[in-house]
Structure 1
Amino acid sequence: MKWALNLGRVAGIKILVHWTFLFLIGWIVFTEMGRGSDLATTLLSVGFVLTIFLCVVLHELGHSLTAQKYGINTKSITLLPIGGVASLERMPESPKQELLIAIAGPAVNVVIAFILWLVLPPLTQIPDEAFFARVTPANFFYLLFFVNLMLVVFNAIPAFPMDGGRVLRALLAFKLGRVRATQIAANLGQILAILFIFMGFFSNPFLILIGVFVFFGAYTENMMVQHLDFLRGHLVREGMMTNYVTLTPENTVRDALEKLLMGSEHEFIVELDGNVVGTLTRSQLIQAVKEDKTNTPVAEIMSRDFETFDVKDKLSQAYTALQKTRSPLYPVLENGRLAGVINTDNINEFIMIKSALVH
């Protein structure tokens, strides 16, 4: 994720903090200043929030490490003002695996709360409103106990793609299948997201951010699952483009610009006698023009680090890879030689045609 600070790795997983997290810290400091708090009280409040987000990291590690047991790696965990996001390489299609992965996160918060309950002296009376109004050294860990309980309850809300929504989808998928289960869970998630947004205008504005995140997250994953269902059983050969423009390493930037202007291609495959040697994007061409390299061979500016697909690979795998890497296109090989190219636009057109044929 762009504009994120890398805090290091845990079990090979990058822990990132998005720059918007600073808004949360700033809001806490501003609130404490408005109360007239001294520096020690302000730092304690900031420390409390950072401790909460440590619990959030452990929560996301619960998801990630459980996913690793099923061969699903996690690229990173990113902390946002509204919580944490674990970037799993893929979601499991097995309802049982998704159920266990979804439950693992809240289970970590249950364990944290249980440990705090064991070590903290029992409260002599039921906490009143003043107890929760301000963080103090005396109530720090008691508040942390209640926050972890709240995280468990909040994540149990069946607002897909939150944990509760994923649990709901997994349970529905046992009977209805993944596609139909996702549709139901996503629709419910979007309804609850609208409710979050509405409540946010009258209470906590962070509910608005959560509602927006849930609404678009549910929509995106619902579309992804439906698209992958349309692609199931199809090979890259069926979705690739065979009518495309290529360049040779000896072609100059000027030659590439002429082809760019004459056609609809924005990216090019650079090949020599049927062997792919590089890829070239429009942005690379524009940068070369700015640097006055119009007579430079494209071999000097092309990307030599690229991935390819074989014509016999699954089309769903190509679609997933294109969605994750945002690479503009992939060369497609047959017996090691260039046979076509594939990009997101072409796969989307393939999906639209299949969808139209079904309906």
Structure 2
Amino acid sequence: MKWSLNLGKIAGIKILVHWTFALLLGWIAFTESQRGSDLFTTLLAIGFILSVFFCVVLHELGHALTARRFGIQTKVITLLPIGGVASLERMPEKPKQELLIALAGPAVNVVIAFILWLVLPSLQNVPGEEFFLRITPANFFYLLLFVNIILVVFNAIPAFPMDGGRVLRALLAFKLGRVRATQIAANLGQLLAIFFIFIGFFYSPFLILIGAFVFFGAYAENMLVQHLDFLKGHRVREGMMTNFVTLAPTDTVRDALNKLLMGSEHEFIVELDGQVVGTLTRSQLIQAVKEEQMATPVLDVMSQEFKTFNVEDKLSEAYTELQKTRAPLYPVLENGRLAGVINTDNINEFIMIKSALMH
């Protein structure tokens, strides 16, 4: 994700913090200053938020490490002001696997809350409300215990794509199949999202943000599953483009710019005698123009690291890869030679045509 700070790796999984997280910490500091808090209290409040998000990282690691048991890798966990996102390379299609992966995250918070409950002194005489109004050294870990319980309860809400929604989909999929289960879970998630947004107008803008995240997340997941269902049984050969413009490694940036202006291509495959040697995107081309490299061969500005598909690969796998990487296009090979190119737009058109033919 752009504009993210890399905190390192845990269990081989990269941990990123999005830049908007700084806004959350700034807001906490501003709020404390408005309340007249001293530096120690402000730093304690910031430390508490960081502790909460450490628990969120552990929650996401619960998902990621459970997914790894089923052969599903997670390259990155990204922390946002509204929570964390573990970017699994794919979601399992088997309901049992999805159920276990979805439950693993909240289970981590249950364990954290249980450990804190065991080690913290019992509050024999329940303190008054003022004990919990502000974060202090005395209530720091009690509040952390409470937050972990809230995370469990919140994630149990059956609002897809949150954990509760994924649990619901997995349970429904045992009887209804993945496509119908996704439709039901996504529709329920969107209804709850509208409720969050409505309540947010009266109580908290934060609920509006969560509602929007749930609404569009449910819609996107539903569309993805519907599309993958349309693509079942089809090969890359059926969804690729065979009418496309290529560049030679010796073509100049000026040659590439002319082809960009004369046609509809925004990205190009660079090939030599049928062998793919690189790809050139519009952004790379424009950057070369800005640097006044008009006479430079595209060999010097193109990407030499690229992924390819074979004509016999599953079209659904190509679609998933394109959705994940947001790459503008991929070369398609047949017997090691360039046979076509494939991108998300072309696959979407394929889906649209298949859908129209079915109706």
TM-score range, shorter chain: over 0.9
Q: Which residue of 1 aligns with 2:271?
A: 271
The answer on 1:152 being equivalent to 2:142 is no
2:193 matched residue in structure 1? 193
Please say which of residues 345-354 and 194-203 is displaced more in the overlay.
Answer: 194-203
Taking structure 2 as the reference length, what is the TM-score of the superposition?
0.97
* Whole-Å separation in 2 of the counterparts to 1:39 and 1:109: 30
Give the corresponding residue for 1:347.
347
CA-atom RMSD, angstroms? Answer: 1.2
Listed as ranges, the gaps of 5+ residues in structure 1 are none
What letter corresponds to residue 173 of structure 1 in structure 2?
A
TM-score (norm 1): 0.97
- Once the two structures are superposed, residues 259-294 of structure 1 have per-residue CA deviations (whole angstroms, 9 ceiling, x without a partner) of 222211111111111111111122222222222222
In structure 2, C-alpha distance between the alignment counterparts of 1:91 and 1:331, rounded to whole Å: 25
Classify the secondary structure of the residue corresponding to 1:53. helix
Q: How does 1:252-267 map to 2 (within 5 A)?
A: 252-267=252-267
In the alignment, what sits opposite 2:97? Answer: 97
Q: C-alpha distance in 1, partners of 2:288/2:26?
A: 42
Instruction: Give the 3 Å change call, closer, same or farther, for CA 247–312 of structure 1 in structure 2.
Output: same
Q: Which moved more, 1:248-257 or 1:135-144?
A: 248-257
Please list the CA deviations of residues 180-220 of structure 1 after superposition, one character each: whole Å capped at 9, or x if unmatched. 11111111111111111222222232212111111111111
Aligned AA for 1:281?
A: T
1:231 aligns with 2:236: no
Aligned counterpart, 2:109: 109
Q: More deviation in 245-254 or 310-319?
A: 245-254
* Partner Cα separation in structure 2 for residue 90 and residue 183 of structure 1: 18
In the TM superposition, residue 127 of structure 1 has moved relative to its aligned partner by 4.6
Structure 1 residue 114 displacement after superposition? 0.8
Find the aligned partners of 1:14 and 1:292 in 2 and give their Cα distance.
37
Counterpart CA distance in 2 for 1:130 and 1:237 is 67
CA displacement, residues 296-344 of structure 1 (integer Å, 9 cap, x when unaligned): 2222222211111000000011111111111111111100011111111
* Aligned twin of 2:131: 131
Aligned residue for 2:48? 48
1:12: Cα distance to partner?
0.3
CA distance in 2, matches of 1:287, 1:320: 29
SS of 2:151 mapped into structure 1: helix
Counting only pairs closer than 5 Å after superposition, residues 154-233 of structure 1 correspond to structure 2 as 154-233=154-233
What is the CA–CA distance in structure 2 between the aligned matches of 1:300 and 1:118, rounded to whole Å?
62
Between 155-164 and 271-280, report the one with greater CA deviation.
271-280
Report the Cα distance in structure 1 between the residues aligned to 2:110 and 2:89, rounded to whole angstroms: 26
Shift >6 Å, 4+ stretches: none
| 282-291 or 52-61: bigger deviation | 282-291
**Residue in 2 aligned with 1:62?**
62
How far off is 1:129 after superposition?
2.8
Q: Quote the offset at 1:38 in angstroms.
A: 1.3
Structure 2: give runs of 5+ residues left out of the alignment. Answer: none
Measure, in 2, the Cα distance between the counterparts of 1:71 and 1:283.
35
Match of 2:249 in 1: 249
> For each residue in 1:57-106, what CA deviation from the matched residue of structure 2 results, as whole angstroms up to 9, or x when unmatched?
11111111101100111111111111111111111111100000000011
User: SS where residue 306 of structure 1 aligns?
Assistant: coil
In the alignment, the residues of structure 2 paired with residue 235 and residue 345 of structure 1 have an alpha-carbon distance, to the nearest angstrom, of: 16
CA deviations on 1:237-276 (whole Å, 9 max, x unpaired) are 0001111111212222222222222211111111111111
Name the residue aligned to 1:280: 280
Q: What is the SS of the residue equivalent to 1:242? A: coil
Return the alpha-carbon distance in structure 2 between the equivalents of residues 149 and 286 of structure 1: 51
Distance 1:53 1:289 in 2: 44
Tell me which residue corresponds to 2:15. Answer: 15
Secondary structure at the aligned position of 1:114 is classed as: helix
Letter paired with 2:281: T
CA distance in 1, matches of 2:52, 2:320: 33
1:345 partner letter: D
The 3-state SS of whatever aligns with 1:123 is coil
Task: Give, as a single letter, the amino acid of the residue that structure 2 aligns with 1:300.
Answer: D
Letter in structure 1 aligned against 2:26: G
* 1:299 lines up with 2:307 in the alignment: no
SS at match of 2:159: coil
Alpha-carbon distance in structure 1 between the residues aligned to 2:253 and 2:230: 39
Matched with 2:331 is 331
Q: Which moved more, 1:117-126 or 1:303-312?
A: 117-126
CA distance in 2, matches of 1:319, 1:333: 16
